[in-house]
Amino acid sequence: MPPADTTADSRLPAMILDHLSSAVVLLDRELRPLYLNQAAEGLLAVSQQHARGQQFGDLLRDADELVVVLRQALASGVPFTQRQANLTLATLHKTVMADISATPLPAEHGLLLEMQAMDRLLKISREEALVSSQQTSRHLARGLAHEIKNPLGGIRGAAQLLARELSDPTLAEYTGIIIDEADRLRDLVDRMLGPHELPVMSHFNIHEVLERVLGIIRAEYGDAVAMRRDYDPSLPDIEGDRSQLLQALLNIVRNAVQALTEHHTPDAVITMRTRVQRRFTIGKRQHKLVCRIDIIDNGPGIPPDMQDTIFYPMISGRADGTGLGLAIAQSIIAQHHGLVECDSVPGNTRFSLYLPLDA
């Protein structure tokens, strides 16, 4: 009988911990990290090698209160749990929300710290509610469209028949107005519903589409807004409908340009950034790889009371806006099993489009 592979057995616990979605940190009695699994390295934005030898509190900012509680847990031997704690990372100057559980280990082994990032879970919950609301609004819009377009067709047909019977040109002008307005309402309803065709899927480089968007924006607005690229050259080809994704990206970039020009933003700039993101959840499915496209502008931002409704049809922050551009963009990305998020404060508005690379 061959001898057991003790080397593989010794690696098994670390391999199991590295495949957990929860962040696990082993601290010694002085609260110095001895071990971080991969989720912990991602949450704290620090490598295990860099964290070793430091105080755990040095990995965070304004962590004095948390350090006191952890020392009390060590001294008393009583586990400690804190829900939705805000952790400000020392490396990124970024705050993340996490549930924290600290368990004192027997003898002199220190403290086992488990952290579950809540930011993404809360976002997923909000996204599911948003997707559900959008599906409901689309069903409602389709039902209303059917009820509106049927009588519009009758009105238009009757106006055409009436126009043939009228000999007075001044009266024919009125029937022409009826026909034109019926056509305008029909086109408005069609735009509310978004693209009717199913996506024609093919593989292509998303940067080619972004360059096409840049070309169109330059042709329309000239040098009114500076455009910056921040592309990840390692991004693989995506599968999607090139023309539909072009339309979705163009709608979002146009919105940004219009916001910047209408408010006369000084040093107006739009940044288009691409990245690969790993283990990202869209709806109820976690994807190994997604393509993330960020459209970032330094404009006035979206009013807080509108941020939850900007993807609904007919919602616009501009006096002459139709409120259809973002709704259509969201509908197109949803057809590609993706997601659009928005994060906006004055001076920094970011629309993030996520498209699966493993669909």
- Rounded CA separation 157/183 (Å): 11
> What residues are paired with 278 via a beta bridge?
289
CA distances from 53 to 18, 25, 30, 34, 38 (A): 21, 13, 10, 8, 18
Q: Which of 183, 193, 271, 182 is nearest to 225 (CA)?
A: 271
Token representation of residue 113 = 């710290």
Hey, where are the domains in the chain? 6-117, 122-193, 202-356
pLDDT at 240: 93
Q: Looking at the predicted structure, is the pLDDT value of residue 220 above 50?
A: yes
pLDDT at 320: 54
CA distances from 159 to 146, 174, 183 (A): 20, 9, 12
Q: Looking at the predicted structure, is the pLDDT value of residue 10 above 80?
A: no
CA-angle at 141, arms to 136 and 142, nearest 5°: 100
Residues 71-89 have a mean pLDDT of: 88
pLDDT at 202: 93
Residues 197-216 have a mean pLDDT of: 91
Side chain identity at 298, as an amino acid letter? Answer: N
pLDDT at 177: 87
Q: What is the CA radius of gyration of the chain?
A: 28
Kindly state the percentage of the chain with pLDDT values over 90.
31
| Cβ-proximal residues to 335 (8 Å cutoff; 6+ apart), any chain | 195, 198, 199, 241, 244
pLDDT in tens, 139-191: 776 777 778 878 888 888 888 888 888 877 778 888 888 888 888 888 777 76
Q: Looking at the predicted structure, is the pLDDT value of residue 30 above 50?
A: yes
pLDDT at 12: 65
Q: Looking at the predicted structure, is the pLDDT value of residue 203 above 50?
A: yes
- Rounded CA separation 85/64 (Å): 13
Poorest-confidence range of 9-23, 76-90, 192-206, 336-350? 9-23
pLDDT in tens, 253-267: 999 999 999 988 899
6-117: CATH superfamily:
PAS domain (3.30.450.20)
CA distances from 296 to 100, 123, 260, 274, 300 (A): 33, 19, 11, 11, 12
> What residues are paired with 22 via a beta bridge?
none
CA distances from 225 to 207, 246, 342 (A): 20, 20, 21
Q: Under a CB-based contact definition with an 8 Å cutoff, are residues 330 and 315 in contact? A: no
pLDDT at 8: 47
- Rounded CA separation 41/66 (Å): 19
pLDDT at 195: 62
| Cβ-proximal residues to 16 (8 Å cutoff; 6+ apart), any chain | none
pLDDT in tens, 45-74: 888 888 888 899 888 888 888 999 999 998
Most confidently predicted of 111-115, 206-210, 333-337: 206-210
Token representation of residue 2 = 């061959």
Establish whether domains 6-117 and 202-356 are of one fold: no
Q: Which of 71, 103, 74, 70 is nearest to 85 (CA)?
A: 70
Residues 292-312 have a mean pLDDT of: 85
pTM of the model: 0.62
3-state secondary structure of 86: strand
3-state secondary structure of 26: strand
Give the chain's mean pLDDT.
83
pLDDT at 173: 83
Region 202-356: CATH code: 3.30.565.10
